[in-house]
Amino acid sequence: MIKSLLHSLLSPVAPPYDALEWEQRPFAERCRLACQSWALQGYGSPLAIVFAYALKVALLFFAWLGFCALSPSLGPASELGRWWLEPLAFQKAILWAMCFESLGLGCGSGPLTGRYLPPIGGFLYFLRPGTTRHPLVGSGHLRTWLDVGLYAALQLSLVRALVAPALEASHFWPVVVLLPLLGLRDKTIFLAARSEHYLTTVACFLFAGNWIAGAKAVQLALWFWAGVSKLNHHFPAVVGVMMSNSPTMRFTFFRRWMYRSYPDDLRPSALATWMAHAGTALELGVPVVLGLASGGEATLIGMVMMLALHGFITSSVPMGVPIEWNVMVVYGAFFLFFAHADVSVFSVGAPMLVVLAVLLVVVPLVGNFFPRFVSFLLAMRYYAGNWACSVWLFRGDSRKKLERLTTSAPWPMEQLLRLYDRRTAVGLLGKVVAFRSMHLHGKALQLLLPKAVDRVDDYEWADGELIAGLVLGWNFGEGHLHDERLLRAVQAQCGFEEGELRCVFLESQPLFKGELAWRIADAKNGERARGTVRIDELRALQAWPAQL
């Protein structure tokens, strides 16, 4: 019985087709079968994966508990109920969350981001000279000892602050200096640390007249802009794809309800669309209610709305798994808006208020109207389905040239073959095509593949997210990490011949503009074509091409 239980926990859900036969079929048919399988099975990862992510959350919590216990003003862990909403406990939570994420333990880790063995990149990669980096300014694509030293210094500074009995300005200064410097050298680490949230909040600790007011402004912006980012036609598809993969919504009938007419029409159903609109309204409503409330019933209503929002997200275990970040947002809501409901955002102080206006208003505005120039994380456009993305197409076995790189892990198939037989591994990785294709932006790929290559079946499809994870050590839906700049860095080290590697790059839809921009590039010869595709055209398409 125990053996049977372990087998059920560790075994992926097999797709309703023979994966080895599926592998030999034309791309259009493979895409259709994978999408139909995703609709009812999701990614198909083992149930044990959910428990693994729960253990990571436990690590986040108990380590924070230990760091707080080192502060006599808070008290022992046994008295958690007395001090968990104290300012020092919140400050240590922010610093620990930044450390946790920048080590690669949070967002973008584990099997739901294409990481199997090892399940993380992060510090295993960022501490290795000669690995590939993504500099924000300047040239040079290989990590130097200077980069390693800066990264190590950041982690030591965070640990120094976490073990300190009390926190002073001297604990925050190294963080606010080192992380931006690292970002100039490698924006991957800057994004991995979730700087738009944690670094901005640490800056409030240091510079704001009332840092609680500043931290409130940060969290209100996170909710507000996440809601704004969903004011388009992308989010209903996200809801369907997410519900099909949710470990708590495993009912076949419910998953069918997410689509207009399974299996032939997998566009979002009326129910999925309604859920998307309700989720958007909730995400916009939470900052309005909590931002205006100053205690009493209004604050309680806002807290209930907040718990409903993040409870739904967390229980769905979305791809990319920002679980720990959601836990931090919930904790932040209790500290900032429940325990300190009377603190006004505008009491932050004039100098920092100007800085926050730039970071929390101007930058997200630019990122929404001109997404090509701002990371979706800095623009706070979270999990809206409106992401920049890319597909890398390797002709024949040319993909093996990537072995010339120092990567954070072997190719995903090689990782899976250490755990499963080939049929199981092919069945799992085949779902990556479905995940991308079932989102609204993914439908553009079926229009662009014929422009990129003569015959798609001669090429191996690789999602840019997986490429970024291998080559840069971290990935989390940030399409700008695997754009032309990464292609040039890869080409400099691998030397692909003309036609061996073609990439399709898709940009996010600008706010209130009904089109997506695209580019096609060859690794050796650079850009081949660019243009736009109308959102209305994509909405009419199925997730798979009729033929290619």
Return the higher-pLDDT residue of 9 and 202.
202
Go through the chain and tell me how many residues it has: 548
- The answer to whether residue 1 scores a pLDDT higher than 80 is no
Interhelix angle 464-472/484-494, rounded to 10 degrees, is: 60
Structure confidence at residue 138 (pLDDT): 77
Q: How confident is the model at residue 137, as a pLDDT? A: 83
406 and 534 assigned to the same domain: yes
Task: Kindly report which listed range (147-161, 314-328, 491-505) carries the lowest average pLDDT score.
Answer: 314-328
Helix 87-102 vs helix 48-69: crossing angle, to nearest 10: 130
Residue type, 111: P
Q: What is the CA radius of gyration of the chain?
A: 23
* CB-based burial, 171-191: b 16+ in 10 Å, e otherwise: bbebbbebbeebbebbbbbbb
- Residue 10 pLDDT > 80, yes or no? no
Last residue of a domain, one of 221, 254, 275: 275
Answer whether residue 370 is part of any domain.
Answer: no
Q: Which residues contact residue 200 at a Cβ distance below 8 angstroms, ignoring those fewer than 6 apart? A: 218, 356, 359, 360
Would residue 128 count as lying in a domain?
no
Residue 462 lies in a domain: yes
3-12, 475-484, 514-523: least confident range: 3-12
Q: How many of the other CB atoms lie within 10 Å of CB of 497?
A: 13
Asked if the model's pLDDT at residue 505 lies above 80, the reply is: yes
Is residue 453 in a domain? yes
The string of pLDDT tens digits covering residues 43-97 is 998 888 989 999 999 999 999 999 999 999 998 999 999 999 999 999 999 999 9
Domain carrying residue 480? 389-539
Count of structural domains within the chain: 2
Report the pLDDT averaged over residues 415-440.
95
Looking at residue 350, its pLDDT comes to 85
* pLDDT value of residue 320: 86
Mean pLDDT of 233-258: 95
- Position 534 scores a pLDDT of 97
Residue 445 lies in a domain: yes
Average pLDDT over residues 422-443: 95
Same domain? For 401 and 269 the reply is: no
pLDDT in the model for residue 7 = 53
Instruction: State the pLDDT at residue 45.
Output: 87
Per residue in 452-471, pLDDT tens?
999 999 999 999 999 999 99
Q: What is the mean pLDDT of the chain?
A: 95
Residue 261 lies in a domain: yes
pLDDT tens-digit readout, 518-533: 999 999 999 999 999 9
Residues 532 and 398 in one domain: yes
> Given pLDDT bands bounded at 50, 70 and 90, which one contains residue 410?
very high
- Is residue 5 pLDDT above 80, yes or no? no
Tell me which of 275, 307, 339 is where a domain ends: 275
Give me the pLDDT at residue 57, please.
96
pLDDT-derived band of residue 548, with 50, 70 and 90 as boundaries?
low
Per-residue pLDDT at 462: 96
Say what percent of the chain tops pLDDT 90.
91
Are 262 and 400 members of one domain?
no
Q: Kindly state whether residue 111 falls inside one of the protein's structural domains.
A: no
> How wide is the angle at C-alpha 502 spanned by C-alphas 500 and 507, nearest 5°?
165
Whether residue 396 has pLDDT greater than 90: yes
Residue 455 domain-assigned (yes or no): yes
Residue 8 clears pLDDT 80, i.e. is over it: no
- Domain-ending residue, one of 275, 308, 332: 275
- Mean pLDDT within 427-450: 96
